[in-house]
Structure 1
Amino acid sequence: VILMSLGTMLQMCTMQFTEQPSALNVVQTKAGAVEGLNVDTGLFPMVEEFKGVPFADVPGKWEKPKPHPGWDGVLIATKFRERCLQVMLLQTKTQGSEDCLYLNIFVPHGLSVSTNLPVMVYLFGGAFLLGASDDVEALGESLYDGKEMADGGVIVVTVNYRVGTLGFLSSGDERLPGNYGLWDQHAAISWVHRNIRAFGGNPDNITIFGQSARAASVNFQMVSPYSKGLFRRAICQGGVALSPCSVINLSHFNLKLYKKITCKTEEDDMLACLKAFNPIKLTMAGKINLLDIFGKDPVMDLLQLAPVVDGDFIPDDPGKLFHNAAQFDYLAGVNSMDGHIFAGINVPSINNMKETTTTDQVKGLLTGLTKDKGDAAVSSAFDVYSVHWGLAPDPAIVKKTVADIETNFLFLVPTQIVLQLHANNTRSACTYSYLFNMKTRIPGFPRWVEAEHAEDLQYLFSKPFSLPLLYFPRHRDAYWTNFAKTGDPSRGNSKVPVLWPAFTKYHQPYLVINDSMSKSSVSYDLRSFYVKFWTQTYGQLPSAGT
C-alpha cells in the first residue's frame, strides 16, 4: 500500500509539472517563425533550445552581412548549422560553408514561460582562424552547449561568424577594408537586441562574453562606435584587444597571402580576381604551416589574419577608444598559465621531464618576443624573470618561468592595461579583475602546470553538472551569471563563496578563482612587478636600430 501510495504521488507530481506551460513553442522573429525543442537537462527548470536560427543572409565574399530576407511557415530550429568555411585544426583541409551566419538560443523555463531574462551572447575562440558556435564535442556534447549555463537563470546565445581569409583578409584600404568577422558578430548582437524579447529575454540587459581571440573581439565590439546601446555588459577571458596577436595595423596589402592566391598585384580589378577565386583555395591560403611552429619564432608571428584598424568599425588604435566602452560594466581576467601551450611550442623542452631548459633557450624566447627593442630588452627582461632563480635554479622553476613569460606578455599584462583603461574612463559602470588557477586537467603535463589556455571553458559551460564524475566543484559560472543579471558578480540568484570587490582607478583587487575559495582568494595588484616592467621599463627602452 505504501509503495502504491508513493507511486501515485510521484505520478501526480510528474503530471503536475508536465501540465505546466514551460515552452515558448513557436516564436515569431522579425524574419519569420521558429520552433525549438524543450530539453530535460536532468535539473530543474527545463531549457528550450533553438539551434540554427539565421541572423543574416548568406554573406558575399568580403562584404558586410545583410539582413536575412525571411521565410514562410515555421522554421524548425533543432540542429546546429555548419560552421563558417575554415581550415581544420591540423591545417590540411577545410570544413564548413559560406552559408553559416546562424545562432543558437538556450532559454530556461520554470513552472511558467520565462520573461525579461538577462541574456549572455558568447563569442568562441580560435585565433581568428577557426572555431564555431558548437565547437569541441565531449562525450557527444558540444563544449559550447549553453543549456547548463542557461539553467542559472539566463538566456545563452552562441553565434557563428566568418573566420580566416574570408573573415579577416584586408588590403589596408577601401578595396578590402577587413573586419568582416567583426561585422558578423555585430550583426548577431544586433539581431539578439531586436528579437530576444520574443524568446523571453530583456534586450536592455545583454552581456557579450568570449575567450581568447573572441575575448579580443568582445573588446573590439566594446570600443566600436557602432555598439552604442546594443548591450550592457562584457566579459573577456584570456584575451583582449591589446594582446600582441589581436590586431594588425596594415599599410599595404598582405603580399604573402596574395602570392598564394596568385592574383597579380598590378591589376586594378584585384577584388574581382579574388572574388572569382575558389573559396576553399582562398581559405587554405590563410593556413599556418605547422612545420614553422616548434622551436622557432613566437606563435603570434605566424598569424597572418586578424582585425585591423579600418577607420570604420575600429576607427583608431583600440587603446585610444576606451571612452566608447565607458558605458559597459566590464569583467576580465586570465588563466594562471594561459601562455603555457604557446611556450611549449616555442620551447618544447619545458614539457619534457628528461630534458633541461637552458638559459639560452629562455633568452631565445625573449629575443623573439622583444625583437622591436633589441638586445637591451632581452637582457633587461631576463634579469627581471631570473631574479628569483638563485645560483643553482631548480629545473622546474626555469621551465615555469618560460610559461610565465608568455602568459604575462601575451595575456596577463595586456588584460591589466585594458582593465585600467576601462576603470579610468568609466564613471558609472563597474570593473572586475580575476585570475583562474585550477590545476590543469590535461594529462601528460608536468605537475607545476596550472590552468591552461581555454581550460576554463569546461567549468564556465557547466560541464561539472553534465559530466559530474569528471570534474571538481566550480564557482565560475555562478559569478558570470550574477554579473550578467546585476553587473555585480557577487550579487544575484547564484550563491558565491567570496565577495568580489571592484577594480577601480586607484584600487586594483582581483579574485583568485579555483575549487578551494575563501576570504584569502581576494588579492591585490596582480603580478604588478611584471606589469610594471612591460608597461613602463620595457616601453621606455629605445627601439631596435634607433
Structure 2
Amino acid sequence: DHILVTTDLCYICLCVCLGVVQTEGGKVEGKSHGMGLFRSVDVFKGVPFADVPGKWEKPKPHPGWSGILKANKYRDRCLQVTLLQTKTQGSEDCLYLNIFVPQGLKLSKNLPVMVYLFGGAFLLGASNDVAILGDSLYDGKEMADRGDVIVVTVNYRVGTMGFLSTGDDRLPGNYGLWDQHAAISWVRRNIAAFGGNPDNITIFGQSAGAVSASFQMLSPYSKGLFRRVITQCGVALSPWALQKKPMALTKKIARKVGCGRSNEDEMLECLKISDPIGLTLAGKIDVLLILGKGTVMDLLELAPVIDGDFIPDEPSKLFHNAAQFDYMAGVNSMDGHIFAGVDVPSINKKNANVRGLLAGLTKEKGNAAVDSAFRVYSSHWGSAPEPAVVKKTVADIETDFLFLVPTQIALQLHANNSSGAHTFSYLFNMKTRIPGFPRWVEAEHAEDLQYLFGKPFASPLIYFPRHRDLSGYMIAYWTNFARTGDPSNGGSRVPVPWPLFTKHHHPYLIINHKMTKSSVRYYTVVYSTDILLSSL
C-alpha cells in the first residue's frame, strides 16, 4: 500500500492504491484515477484471461508472462465487422478484461464484483465500446466509486468466429459464450488479489449481453461460479436469442467464401483454412433478407445454439439450473422502436401497416392469430386513430415481442424454480435524449447504459440534474443488488423500496428520474402471449 498524490479533477486525492497485483498468469500494474477527496479507482486495462483462441475452439488458459504487465491500455476488440459492415476491425488476439477497483483511505477488501457482458447482436461490440468524450461507454469508474463494487468488463468472440455452428459435434458453436465463461472463471480465481469477494460475483449485460448473461445463468457449467444475474433488455427466451437452423447458415457463409461443397466435411475443412477476415465479412447482416420476407429477427442470424453441452436443451427447460441465483430483469419502454423502423418503414408515414407487422411476427400461426393480435393492439384506437397512436402501437408490438414478454416469462420461470433466491422486475422509461424524435418516444434500446455507467457524473456538461438523479438511483439499485441480492438494501440509499417478484405476486419498478411510491406497479395488461411468442 502506498499513498498516492494526484491532481486529477483539480484537487488533491490522498488515497491508497493497489500498485502491482499478482495474478495466476503473472504480475499486473494498473493506474490510479482520483475521483474526489480521499477517493480513487484503480484501473487495470487489458488483462489476459485466456490465450489467443484457435479458430472455432474453446478458449485455453493463458501461458502467463514474466516481469510486470503494464495494464494501462485497452486491447483490441475481437475480430468483427464495422458498424457500416464495409470492412472488419479487431483481432483474433482479443481475450482480455478490464478491472475497476474503488479505493479510499484503506485498501479495499472483500468487495462485491460485477462482471459486464456487452451487447451488439452477437455481431459486434467490445468491453470498451463507444467512447463518450474520451471515456468508453462501459468505463466502470463511476459505478465502482459510487457503488463501492469492483466492476469488470470483458471481451468475447462475436460474429462468424464466435457463433458459427453446424448444430453437431463437428462445429458445435457458442465459442463466444465459452469465452464469457472463461472470463467469469478467471475473475473467480483471481479477483481476491484485487480486493474482491470471489463468492459474491454478479454478472450483468444488455441486449445480446443480457441474453449471454441469461445463458450463463441457465448453463450447467455455471453451478457455484457466481451468485447473481441482471439482464437488461434481453433473455435467453427472446425470439432472436437462438439460431435454430445453424447448418443452413453455415452453408450460406461457406458459399460466400468459396467453400460451397456438396460434401459437408469437405466444406468444413475448407472453412477451417479460410481467412478469418473473409469469414467475418461473410457473417454480416444480410439486409436483402428483409425485403418482402420477414422481420428484423431474420437479420440476426449469428447467435447461440442448443449444442447439447453449454446449452443442453431449450432455454425454457433449463431454469432449474438458475434456482440458486438472485435474478433482476427488465426492459426499456421503447426497446422495440428502432427495430420497428426496420420492420415497418412506413412507421414514419401516415399509414403504418400494423396488420402486416403482426403477420410477419406470427407467420407460423396463420390469419386467425393476426386477427386476434390486431384486436388486442388496436382496442384503444377509436374509429380514426391519430398517426402518432398507430406509430406507438407498432413500437409497442416490437417491444413486447422482442423484449418484454420473453423477459416476463423468464422472470416467472425463475420465480417458479427458485430455491430461496430473489427475483426482481423493472421497466426503464426515461424519455429519450436522442434529438429529433417525437415526444411520445420514451427509452430507446440501450439508453439505460449511459445512466448505469454514470455518464451524467463523468460528463456533467451534456446532462441535466435530473439525469444525475436517475444515474444515482440506478447505480444504487444495481450495486445494492450485487452486494446483498436486494436492490433496496446494501449501503446505497434508494428513492423507493423495490418489492420482490414471486410466483403469485408480480410487481415491477418503473425507473426514471421522478421515483415515488407510485413507481411500483403491477402488470394488468393481458398479453396475447401464445400469439406473440409463436416463434419460441
- 2:194 pairs, out of 177, 192, 199, with 199
How far residue 273 of structure 1 moved from its aligned partner, in angstroms, is 1.6
Cα shift readout 1:83-112 (whole Å, capped 9, x = no counterpart): 000001111110000000000000000101
Match of 2:441 in 1: 449
Matched residue of 2:396: which SS?
A: helix
Mapped to 2, the partners of 1:256 and 1:30 lie a distance apart of 42
1:168 maps to a residue whose letter is F
Q: Where does structure 2 lack aligned partners over 5 or more consecutive residues?
A: 1-6
Mapped to 2, the partners of 1:341 and 1:538 lie a distance apart of 18
Contact 1:33 1:75 in 2 (8 A): yes
How far residue 295 of structure 1 moved from its aligned partner, in angstroms, is 8.1
1:259 partnered with 2:261: no
Match of 1:399 in 2: 391
Contact 2:361 2:532 in 1 (8 A): no
2:482 maps to a residue whose letter is A
CA RMSD of aligned residues (A): 1.7
- 2:232 pairs, out of 230, 233, 237, with 237
CA 1:515–1:44 in structure 2 vs 1: closer, same or farther (change >3 Å)?
farther
1:385 partnered with 2:377: yes
Match of 2:176 in 1: 181
Match of 2:421 in 1: 429
Contact 2:254 2:267 in 1 (8 A): no
Contact 2:80 2:124 in 1 (8 A): yes
Mapped to 1, the partners of 2:33 and 2:305 lie a distance apart of 41
Mapped to 2, the partners of 1:357 and 1:294 lie a distance apart of 18
Mapped to 2, the partners of 1:279 and 1:487 lie a distance apart of 42
How far residue 249 of structure 1 moved from its aligned partner, in angstroms, is 2.3
How far residue 395 of structure 1 moved from its aligned partner, in angstroms, is 1.3
More deviation in 239-248 or 260-269? Answer: 260-269
2:256 maps to a residue whose letter is K
How far residue 448 of structure 1 moved from its aligned partner, in angstroms, is 0.2
Mapped to 2, the partners of 1:431 and 1:251 lie a distance apart of 33
Mapped to 2, the partners of 1:52 and 1:217 lie a distance apart of 21
1:497 partnered with 2:495: yes
Contact 2:112 2:197 in 1 (8 A): yes
How far residue 253 of structure 1 moved from its aligned partner, in angstroms, is 4.4
2:273 maps to a residue whose letter is A
Question: What are the equivalent positions in structure 2 for 1:468-483 lying under 5 Å apart?
Answer: 468-471=460-463, 472=467, 473-474=469-470, 475-483=473-481
2:253 maps to a residue whose letter is L
Cα shift readout 1:270-306 (whole Å, capped 9, x = no counterpart): 4332121011000001001345558863111112210
Contact 1:338 1:452 in 2 (8 A): yes
How far residue 465 of structure 1 moved from its aligned partner, in angstroms, is 0.8
Contact 1:170 1:253 in 2 (8 A): no
1:319 maps to a residue whose letter is S
Mapped to 1, the partners of 2:55 and 2:246 lie a distance apart of 22
CA 1:251–1:469 in structure 2 vs 1: closer, same or farther (change >3 Å)?
closer
CA 1:295–1:145 in structure 2 vs 1: closer, same or farther (change >3 Å)?
farther
Matched residue of 1:113: which SS?
A: coil
Cα shift readout 1:101-146 (whole Å, capped 9, x = no counterpart): 0000000001011100000000000000000000011111110000
- 1:521 pairs, out of 519, 522, 530, with 519
2:333 maps to a residue whose letter is S
Mapped to 2, the partners of 1:364 and 1:228 lie a distance apart of 44
Percent of pairs with identical residues: 72
More deviation in 469-478 or 409-418? Answer: 469-478
1:147 maps to a residue whose letter is K
How far residue 348 of structure 1 moved from its aligned partner, in angstroms, is 2.7
More deviation in 468-477 or 431-440? Answer: 468-477
CA 1:113–1:251 in structure 2 vs 1: closer, same or farther (change >3 Å)?
closer
Match of 1:122 in 2: 116
How far residue 520 of structure 1 moved from its aligned partner, in angstroms, is 0.3
Question: What are the equivalent positions in structure 2 for 1:137-152 lying under 5 Å apart?
Answer: 137-151=131-145, 152=147
- 1:40 pairs, out of 29, 34, 38, with 34
1:173 maps to a residue whose letter is D
1:155 maps to a residue whose letter is I
Match of 1:333 in 2: 330
Match of 2:4 in 1: none
1:323 partnered with 2:317: no
Match of 1:7 in 2: none
How far residue 186 of structure 1 moved from its aligned partner, in angstroms, is 0.1
1:27 maps to a residue whose letter is V
TM-score (norm 2): 0.94
- 1:161 pairs, out of 148, 156, 171, with 156
Cα shift readout 1:248-267 (whole Å, capped 9, x = no counterpart): 22374422222112222415
Mapped to 1, the partners of 2:102 and 2:290 lie a distance apart of 44
Match of 2:3 in 1: none
Contact 1:294 1:345 in 2 (8 A): no
2:272 maps to a residue whose letter is K
Mapped to 2, the partners of 1:141 and 1:71 lie a distance apart of 28
Mapped to 2, the partners of 1:268 and 1:208 lie a distance apart of 38
- 1:26 pairs, out of 20, 36, 58, with 20
Contact 2:254 2:271 in 1 (8 A): no
1:517 maps to a residue whose letter is M
1:55 partnered with 2:49: yes
TM-score (norm 1): 0.92
Match of 1:136 in 2: 130
More deviation in 259-268 or 388-397? Answer: 259-268
Match of 2:58 in 1: 64
Matched residue of 2:35: which SS?
A: coil
How far residue 316 of structure 1 moved from its aligned partner, in angstroms, is 0.3
Cα shift readout 1:54-89 (whole Å, capped 9, x = no counterpart): 000000000000000000000000000000000011
1:306 partnered with 2:298: no
Contact 2:401 2:532 in 1 (8 A): no
Mapped to 1, the partners of 2:354 and 2:393 lie a distance apart of 8
Q: Where does structure 1 lack aligned partners over 5 or more consecutive residues?
A: 1-9
Match of 1:6 in 2: none
Mapped to 1, the partners of 2:233 and 2:382 lie a distance apart of 31
Matched residue of 1:172: which SS?
A: coil
Cα shift readout 1:346-371 (whole Å, capped 9, x = no counterpart): 22333x3xx3034xx11111111111
Matched residue of 1:529: which SS?
A: coil
Matched residue of 1:331: which SS?
A: strand
Mapped to 1, the partners of 2:231 and 2:362 lie a distance apart of 25
More deviation in 467-476 or 197-206? Answer: 467-476
2:390 maps to a residue whose letter is V
1:274 partnered with 2:271: yes
Contact 2:290 2:298 in 1 (8 A): no
1:344 partnered with 2:341: yes
CA 1:464–1:288 in structure 2 vs 1: closer, same or farther (change >3 Å)?
same
More deviation in 141-150 or 254-263? Answer: 254-263
Mapped to 2, the partners of 1:421 and 1:227 lie a distance apart of 18
How far residue 40 of structure 1 moved from its aligned partner, in angstroms, is 1.6
Contact 1:296 1:346 in 2 (8 A): no
Mapped to 1, the partners of 2:514 and 2:38 lie a distance apart of 26
Matched residue of 1:306: which SS?
A: coil
Matched residue of 1:41: which SS?
A: strand
Match of 1:363 in 2: 355
Aligned length, in residue pairs: 517
Match of 1:511 in 2: 509
How far residue 470 of structure 1 moved from its aligned partner, in angstroms, is 2.4
